[in-house]
Amino acid sequence: DIVMTQSPDSLAVSLGERATINCKSSQSVLYSSNNKNYLAWYQQKPGQPPKLLIYWASTRESGVPDRFSGSGSGTDFTLTISSLQAEDVAVYYCQQHYYTPPAFGQGTKVEIK
Amino acid sequence: EVQLVESGGDLVQPGGSLRLSCAASGFTFSSYWMHWVRQAPGKGLVWVSRIDTDGSSTHYADSVKGRFTISRDNAKNTVYLQMNSLRAEDTAVYYCARGGITFDYWGQGTLVTVSS
């Protein structure tokens, strides 16, 4: 099975500053036939279900603020929050949906410094 | 508006059974794969099972294979998870999720507690 590893496990960022979360897949999730990376990012706030933020590694879901961006290809991916807001405090998960079973990273907790 | 509403979670003894339901609305249910994903208290997300549009194909995580069964009723816009031989490690919030490109909509979850 594919293993997704996120780093760091947690980070504290000042309001308005940049937050960067990394995600590494044990195998490439790039599908050569359509040149798409089957990598998604989710945000989960306490007591709530996860919310899809980004799919295809870099495509923002409708309604997601543009301060959230995704990048990377193959096995290495990054979620960036360009200017952290108070409402962004949450746990963030990456997830590959190329292989079965779909696999999530362990999560990265983002807090305000 | 897409809505997914889970139900059926409860406290059950080890070895017991439970059936979860997820009622869908706001989209053409029969056109989408559906998934169950669980989250143990204070832990991360773990995919459990998925079913294709007409129920002809199902997949399971190794940890639940042979004990859990996913099914769907497209006439009722509902997906189910039959859970048998429950173990303490099955304790979690169980979410159903719509399988668009990936898990694009999630329910609020239902809590399953396995304890004596």
Successive 10-residue mean pLDDT values, chain B, 116 residues: 97 98 98 98 97 96 98 98 98 96 95 97
pLDDT of the residue at B100: 80
Q: How far is A26 from chain B (nearest CA, A)?
A: 17
Which run of H or E residues covers position A104?
strand A103-104
Q: How far is A42 from chain B (nearest CA, A)?
A: 9
pLDDT of the residue at B101: 82
Q: How far is A5 from chain B (nearest CA, A)?
A: 12
**pLDDT < 50 regions, chain A:** none
Closest residue in chain B to residue A49, using alpha carbons only: B108
Distance CA B62, CA A80 (A): 33
In this complex, which of B45, B50, B59 lies closest to A50 when CB atoms are compared? B45
> Is the CB of B44 less than 8 angstroms away from the CB of A97?
no
pLDDT of the residue at B18: 98
Q: Tell whether the torsion through CA atoms of B23, B93, B81 and B102 is positive or negative.
A: positive
pLDDT of the residue at B13: 97
Coil/strand/helix, residue A72: strand
Amino acid B104 reads D
> Is the CB of A104 less than 8 angstroms away from the CB of B102?
no
